[in-house]
Amino acid sequence: MPNVRVEFFGVPRHQVGVTALDVEVQSLTLANVLLATAARLPEFGNRCLDGSRLKPGLLANINGRCFTTDSAMPLCDQDAVLILSSDVGGH
Amino acid sequence: MTDSIGGYHQRYLRIDLSTLQSVERPIPPQVLRAYLGGSGLGTWLLLEEEAAQFDPLSPEAALAFVFSPLVGSPLTTSAKFVVLAKSPLTGRINDSLSSSHFAITGKKTGYDAIVIVGAAEQPTSVIIDDHGVRFESATQLWGQSSRVAADQLRDQIGPQYRVAAIGPAGENLVRYATISHDGRHAGRGGLGAVMGSKQLKAIAVSGEQQTGYAHPNALIAYAKDLSRKSFGPATAKYRELGTVSNLLVFNRLGTLPTRNFQSGSFESAASLAPEQLAQNRERTRTSCAACTIGCEHIFPLKSLDPNSANSGVRLEYESLFALGSLCGVSDPQVVLQAASLCDELGLDTISTGGTIAFAMECAERGLLDAPSLRFGNGAALLDTIRLVGHREGLGELLSRGSRAAAEQIGQGSEEFAPHVKGLEIPGYEPRAVQTMALGFAVGTRGADHNRSSAYQVDFSDKVDRLHVDETSVVHAIQTENEATLMDSLILCKFLRGVFDDKLAAMAEMLRLVTGWDISASELTKTADRIISAKKLFNIRAGWTPAEDTLPSRFFNEPLTNSGEASTGAILTREQLQRMIETYNLARAWTTDGWLTGELK
Q: Which residues of B163-192 are buried (b: 16+ CB within 10 A; e: fewer)?
A: bbbbbbbbbbbbbbbbbbbbbbbbbbbbbb
**Nearest residue to B285 via CA among B296, B276, B274, B273:** B296
Residues of B in contact with A90 (CB under 8 A): 237-238, 243, 246, 317, 493-494
Fold category of A3-85 in CATH? Ubiquitin-like (UB roll) (3.10.20)
Domain edges within chain A? 3-85
Q: Nearest by CB to B236, from A57, A64, A89: name it.
A: A57
Assign B496 a pLDDT band (cuts: 50, 70, 90): confident
φ, ψ for residue B441, nearest 5 deg: -65, -40
Nearest chain B Cα distance for residue A79, angstroms: 12
Question: How far off is chain A from B165, nearest CA to CA, in Å?
Answer: 23
Average pLDDT, chain B: 95
Q: How many whole angstroms separate alpha carbon A27 and alpha carbon B210?
A: 62
Q: Most A CBs within 10 Å: which of B184, B459, B487, B500, as the mutation test of the A interface?
A: B459
Q: Does B455 touch chain A (CB under 8 A)?
A: yes
Mutate to test the interface with B, among A5, A7, A8, A9 (most CBs of B within 10 A): A9
Chain segment B18-35, per-residue pLDDT in tens:
999 999 999 999 999 999
Phi, psi (5° rounding) for residue B140?
-70, -20
B395 in the same domain as B253: yes
**Which residue among B240, B428, B450 places its CB closest to the CB of A11?**
B240
Q: How far is CA B290 from the centre of its chain?
A: 20
Domain that holds residue B282: 242-414
> Do the Cβ atoms of B489 and B37 come closer than 8 Å?
yes
pLDDT of residue B294: 83
Domain CATH code at residue B131? 3.60.9.10
Q: Give phi and psi for B43, each to the nearest 5.
A: -65, -45
One domain for residues B449 and B410: no
Residues of A in contact with B316 (CB under 8 A): 91
Asked if B285 reaches chain A (Cβ–Cβ under 8 Å), the answer is: no
CB B13 within 8 A of CB B109: yes
pLDDT given for residue B476 in this prediction: 96
Tell me, yes or no, whether B269 and B400 share the same domain: yes
Confidence at residue A49, expressed as pLDDT on a 0 to 100 scale: 96
- How far is B428 from B414, CA to CA, in rounded Å? 20
Q: Do B352 and B339 form a contact (C-beta atoms < 8 A)?
A: no
Which has the closest alpha carbon to B595: B545, B522, B547?
Answer: B545
Rg (CA), chain B: 22
Q: Which residues, including other chains, have CB under 8 Å from residue B30's CB and lie 6 or more apart?
A: none
Which strand ranges, in their side-by-side order, compose the sheet holding B113-117? B21-26, B11-16, B113-117, B63-66, B80-86, B93-99
Residue B12 pairs in a beta bridge with: B25, B113
Q: What is the pLDDT of residues B220-229, one digit of tens each?
A: 999 999 999 9
Instruction: Find out whether the peptide bond into B490 is cis, omega within 30 degrees of 0.
Output: yes
Beta bridge pairs of residue A49: A54
Indicate if B248 and B136 belong to the same structural domain. no
| Predicted local distance difference test score (pLDDT) of residue A40 | 96
CB-based contact B246 A88, cutoff 8 Å = yes
The answer, yes or no, to whether residue B280 has pLDDT greater than 70, is no
Q: Is B559 helix (H, G, I), strand (E, B) or coil?
A: coil
Q: What is the mean pLDDT of residues B363-389?
A: 98
Alpha carbons A26 and B242: distance in angstroms, whole number: 37
* Dist CA B87 CA B52 (whole Å): 10
Q: B-contacting residues of A 62-91, CB under 8 Å?
A: 63-70, 82, 84-91
Chunked mean pLDDT (size 10), chain A, 91 residues: 95 93 95 97 96 94 95 96 88 65
Q: Which of B233, B234, B455 sits opposite A89 (nearest CB)?
A: B455
- Interchain contact B244–A (C-beta under 8 A): no
Question: What single-letter amino acid sits at B92?
Answer: R
| DSSP 8-state symbol, B167 | -
Q: Which residue of B has its CA nearest to A90?
A: B243
Number of neighbouring beta carbons within 10 Å of residue B557: 15
Q: Which amino acid is at B301?
A: L
Q: What is the structure's pLDDT at B279? A: 67
Same structural domain, B51 and B167:
yes
Whether residue B353 lies inside any domain: the answer is yes
Element of type H or E holding B75: none
Structural domain total, chain B:
3
Q: Cβ neighbours of residue B543 under 8 Å, at least 6 residues apart? A: B92, B535
Whether residues B410 and B445 share a domain: the answer is no
Q: Do B497 and A87 touch (CB under 8 A)?
A: yes
Asked if B455 and A9 come within 8 Å (Cβ–Cβ), the reply is: no
Shared domain for B467 and B358, answered yes or no, is no
Residues B328 and B439 reside in one and the same domain: no
Average pLDDT over residues B63-78: 95
Mind telling me how many Å the CA of A51 is from chain B's nearest CA? 17
| The pLDDT of residue B281 | 61
- Of B517, B506, B516, the closest CA to residue B6 belongs to B516
Q: What is the structure's pLDDT at B594?
A: 98
φ and ψ at residue B132, rounded to 5 degrees: 125, -155
DSSP letter string over B423-441? EEP-SS-TTTSHHHHHHHH
In our burial notation (b when 16+ CB lie closer than 10 A, e otherwise), range B81-93 reads: bbbbbbbbbbbbb
The secondary structure of residue B331, as a DSSP letter, is -
Q: Rounded to an integer, what distance in angstroms lies between the CA atom of residue A41 and that of residue B95? A: 47
Q: Do A9 and B245 touch (CB under 8 A)?
A: yes
Q: Which of residues 2-61 of A touch B (CB under 8 A)?
A: 7, 9-11, 14, 55-58, 61
In a domain, B594, yes or no: no
* Model pLDDT, residue B1: 43
Cα(B132)–Cα(B129) distance, integer angstroms: 5
B55 to chain A, minimum CA–CA distance in Å? Answer: 30
Q: Which residues of A touch B252 (CB under 8 A)?
A: 7, 9, 64, 82
Inter-chain touch A88–B241, beta carbons under 8 Å:
no
Given an 8 Å threshold on Cβ–Cβ distance, is B233 in contact with A57? yes
Give the confidence band of B398 by pLDDT, cuts at 50, 70, 90.
Answer: very high
Co-location of B107 and B250 in the same domain = no
Quickly state the pLDDT bin for B309 (edges 50, 70, 90).
Answer: low
- Tell me the CA distances in angstroms from A33 to A51, A57, A70, B332, B459, one per residue in order: 12, 19, 12, 35, 21
Reduce the DSSP state of residue B202 to 3 states and report it.
strand
Kindly report the number of other CB atoms within 10 A of residue A21's CB atom: 16
Q: Are residues B490 and B394 in the same domain?
A: no
Q: What is the number of other CB atoms lying within 10 angstroms of the CB of residue B159?
A: 8
CATH number, domain of B444, equals: 1.10.599.10
Planar angle of CA B130, B132, B133, nearest 5 degrees:
130
DSSP letter (8 states) at residue B500:
S
CB B241 within 8 A of CB B297: yes
Measured between CA atoms, how close is A67 to chain B, in angstroms? 5
With CB atoms and an 8 Å threshold, state whether B460 touches A58.
no
**Where residue B273 falls among pLDDT bands split at 50, 70, 90?**
confident
> Nearest C-alpha of chain B: how many angstroms from A57?
5
From the list A56, A61, A90, the residue facing B494 with the nearest CB is: A90
Q: Which residue of A has its CA nearest to B493?
A: A90
Contact between chains at A57 and B232 (C-beta distance less than 8 A)? yes
Q: Are residues B467 and B581 in the same domain?
A: yes
The model's pLDDT over B156-200, given as tens digits with 9 standing for 90+, comes to: 999 999 999 999 999 999 999 999 998 899 999 999 999 999 999
CA distances from A41 to A54, B55, B236 (A): 14, 61, 21
Task: Say whether both B341 and B394 belong to one domain.
Answer: yes
Q: What is the pLDDT of residues B443-485, one digit of tens each?
A: 999 999 999 999 999 999 999 999 999 999 999 999 999 999 9
Helix (H) or strand (E) holding B272: none
pLDDT of res. B182? 87
Does the residue B235 lie in any domain? Answer: no
B60 neighbors B147 (Cβ within 8 angstroms): no
